[in-house]
Copies of this chain bind each other. A is one copy, B any other.
Amino acid sequence: MQIHLHQTHHTIADFTAIRQTLQTALDRPGLHVFPELYLTGYPLADLCLQSPFIHSYQKFLKEIDAWAQKLPKSSETVALLGGLAYQLGDEGIPVSIRNVIYELTPGAPLRPLYTKRLLPNYDIFDEQKYFTPGTTPGVWEWQGKRFALMICEDMWASSFHQLDPALDLAKIGPFAAVINLSASPFEVTKNEARIARARTLSQLLKAPFYYVNRVGGEDEILFDGQSFAVNGDKLFGQAPAFAAHTLSLPLASATEYAPIGSTICENTWESLFAPRFSSEKALPRRLQTWSDAECALVARALQFSLQEYASKNGFKKFLVALSGGMDSALVLTLAKLSLAPGQELEAVYMPGSFSSPLSWDLSMEICQKLGLKLTSLPIKFLHSNIRMAFQNTFPQPFEGLTDENVQSRLRGMLLYTRSNQTGAMVINTSNKSELAVGYSTQYGDSVGALSLLGDLYKTEVYRLAEWINQAHGGLIPKGIITRPPSAELRENQKDQDSLPAYERLDAMLEGILSYRFHARDLTTMGFEASEVKRVFQLYAKAEYKRRQFCPIVKIKAKSFGFGYRVPLSKHPGFYQD
């Protein structure tokens, strides 16, 4: 028996393309497995409650059903498809929505087999808002064999929900195989975590474990594919990351399985999110440095996310504002490396009164290396005009933040004016360290359709740049990497004048964001109390900037963006406690 894991790549609700892929795939005999919510796309959020969507989807489902019934009967071919099952009441009003696996047998009606039991509801996940959970384990028979079925999160037992679908299945076994249909968001180290977990479940359920994951970039959230199969400890197939692919494998025979107790089925993903914390308090004072393989994966993820947003939102041109600094240089390089035929990438440089000649030289240098033209659009004249107008109109002095922010906002405005002219997508260049401490100007350098680096700390931006230079022959000028970071909004300004050194800052931020440390945790780890206090102050004060920020490509468990929900209006005293 052949098992085909179809790691598919479609736009949400692109029913025509979804049908075509399905119809093409079923030309071959075997057991075809498609990802979670293959038939709709994921995540849908409120779309699954909107009548236009329900209407179209129900029509589509009927078409698939009619098509399947007309196929010549065959016992050699079957497909497992992730989809939604609506129970509709009066006037098409949904009474319940279930996240299910449909069985498609040629010559037979489409049949829902199994309903997802463990509905993730932490961080970016809101599945309990929309879906009704299943109550019975997923067991399915085909060609005289029994299979255990799971949908995504089902493989991660939840102590919070006191539900462990794998343990329930273990009581029902044996199985010929375990099949998991996933739509699992990308994180840098998630592939290893999935495989490790699958190994455990393969041992527990004493059967090979087949895992298929969707591919796609949905605003902030990436799905990386990387479908795989394990048998006991052995990984015997893995599909590539960020590309549609069909992984065809034989049904593996039972092998030696290590004995596994029930204790291993502990909650994993939720440990960082739902009402539990990671218990790991041994955060190193420096962040762990990404390996070359991790850098390659991150670079691939960021390029993929850019192309996904562009193609799904109708952009063929990209626009980046270069400052002569590290962040914009990296964004430009990633964008250039991602370009498809027919796409255009434009770089503009908008010097102000405090821009050093070096910034221009370095911007020119990177554009030459990348084969891009650089256009200069100075803001000096506009800046001094505004200063004069304000000095003539208002009694208050035009200085400090007023004078700094206006330069950043002029750049944002010019960038979007250029975007209006060409229809180009503006790529944001902020990083996670800046977002965390509010080291940016609202409506200034914070503008953009998508933030590529918003989940990378500044030290990680440097690490990725270093790797790119290694892998792509020094595209990013050394001068950009070695110069001290500066916003160049006042004379001789340096980031390190107002922020702790990035190495320390990033480690503290990771402690605050991912480990949810409080002030004393950080001082216990050896950070200066005054520095800790300042970082918490900056972090708390910047909430309003994050609220209006553009979508951030998520590459980690805890990111700013949709899954980060902190009120603006609050008494900030507790942050210092």
- A interface residue numbers (CB < 8 A to B): 11-15, 41, 43-53, 55-57, 59, 89-97, 121-122, 126, 128-132, 159-160, 217-219, 273-279, 281, 308-309, 312-313, 375-377, 381-382, 385-386, 389-390, 393-394, 396-398, 401-402, 405-406, 409-410, 412-414, 416-418, 420-422, 442-443, 447, 449, 516-519, 521, 536, 544, 547-551, 562, 564-571, 573-577
As for how many copies of this chain the complex holds, the number is 2
**Extra contacts besides A15-B571, A52-B575, A128-B128 (8): CB < 8 Å:** A45-B567, A49-B275, A52-B518, A96-B160, A121-B128, A382-B386, A402-B417, A402-B420
Query: In the complex, what residues of B have CB within 8 A of residue A566's CB?
Result: 45-47, 50
Tell me whether A405 and B421 are in contact (CB under 8 A).
no
Nearest-neighbour CB distance to chain B for A157, whole angstroms, equals 15
28 A-B residue pairs with Cβ-Cβ distance under 8 Å, sorted by A, are A13-B571, A14-B571, A15-B573, A46-B564, A46-B565, A49-B516, A50-B518, A52-B519, A52-B574, A52-B576, A91-B277, A93-B279, A94-B277, A128-B129, A129-B274, A132-B160, A132-B275, A218-B567, A312-B568, A312-B569, A313-B544, A382-B382, A396-B421, A405-B416, A405-B420, A409-B413, A547-B551, A562-B565
A130 and B569 contact, Cβ closer than 8 Å, known pairs A51-B518, A516-B50, A574-B53: no
**Candidates B447, B516, B544; contact of A51 at CB < 8 Å:** B516
Report B-chain residues with C-beta under 8 Å of the C-beta of A449.
Answer: 544
Asked whether, in the complex, the Cβ of B564 is within 8 Å of the Cβ of A276, the reply is no
Is A417 a contact partner of B405 (Cβ separation < 8 A)? yes
> In the complex the two chains form, is A55's CB within 8 Å of B421's CB?
no
A362 to chain B, nearest CB (A): 21
A52-B577 in contact (CB<8A): yes
Which of A44, A517, A521, A570 has the most CB atoms of chain B within a 10 A radius of its CB?
A570
- Inter-subunit contact A573/B56 (CB<8 Å): yes
Given contacts A13-B573, A56-B577, A571-B13, contact A413 B121 (CB under 8 A): no
Residue of B nearest to A17 (CB): B571
Instruction: Decide yes or no: A421 and B393 within 8 Å by CB, A44-B567, A47-B567 being known contacts.
Output: no
Report whether B573 and A312 are in contact in the complex, using a CB–CB cutoff of 8 Å.
Answer: no
Please give, as numbers and ranges, the residues of chain B lying within 8 Å of A45 by CB-CB distance: 565-567
A373 to chain B, nearest CB (A): 11
CB of A409 within 8 A of CB of B402, answer: no
Residues of B within 8 A of A544 (CB): 313, 449
Docked Cα-Cα span, A577 to B309, in Å, equals 24
CB distance from A452 to the nearest CB of B (A): 15
Alpha-carbon separation in the docked complex, A288 to B402 (Å) = 45
Contact of B413 with A396 in the complex, beta carbons under 8 Å: no
Instruction: Point out the residues of chain B lying under 8 angstroms from A93, CB to CB.
Output: 276-279
With A and B bound together, what is the CA distance between A332 and B317 in angstroms? 40
CB-nearest residue of chain B relative to A308? B569
A44 cross-chain contacts in B, Cβ below 8 A: 567
Distance to closest chain B CB from A425 (angstroms) = 10
A397 CB contacts on chain B under 8 angstroms: 421
> Which chain B positions have C-beta within 8 A of A56?
573-574, 577
Contact of A418 among B128, B385, B394 (CB under 8 A): B394
Contacts of A48 in B (CB 8 A): 275
**B417–A13 touching, CB < 8 Å:** no
State whether B421 touches A417 (Cβ < 8 A). no
Is B59 a contact partner of A577 (Cβ separation < 8 A)?
A: yes
Inter-chain CA distance A565–B121, complex, in Å, is 15
- With a cutoff of 8 Å between Cβ atoms, the chain B residues found around residue A52 in the complex are 518-519, 536, 574-577
A562 nearest CB across to chain B (Å): 8
CA distance A284 to B172 in the complex (A): 56
Residues B569 and A309 in contact, CB atoms below 8 Å apart: yes
Q: A313–B518 contact, CB under 8 A?
A: no
B276 close to A94 (CB less than 8 A): yes
Contact partner, A393, options B11, B276, B375, Cβ 8 Å: B375
With beta carbons under 8 angstroms apart, the residue of B376, B402, B416 that contacts A421 is: B402
Q: How far is the CB of A310 from chain B (nearest CB, A)?
A: 10
> Cα distance A112–B435 when bound, in Å?
39
C-alpha spacing A574/B56, complex, angstroms: 6
Q: Which B-chain residue is minimally distant from A550 (CB atoms)?
A: B548
* B375 and A394 within 8 A (CB): yes
Return the chain B residue nearest A91 by Cβ.
B279
Chain B: CB-nearest residue to A402: B420
Which B residues touch A129, using CB under 8 A?
Answer: 121-122, 126, 128, 274
Q: How far is the CA of A24 from the CA of B377 in the complex (A)?
A: 62
When distances are taken between beta carbons in the complex, the residues of chain B under 8 Å from A564 are 46
Q: Provide the residues of chain B in CB contact with A569, threshold 8 Å.
A: 11-12, 217-219, 308-309, 312-313
A517 close to B51 (CB less than 8 A): yes
Known: A126-B126, A551-B568, A571-B11. A394 touches B382 (CB 8 A): no
Contact of A385 among B90, B385, B420, B573 (CB under 8 A): B385
The contact of A443 among B278, B406, B412, by CB within 8 Å, is B412
Closest Cβ neighbor of A272 among chain B residues: B49
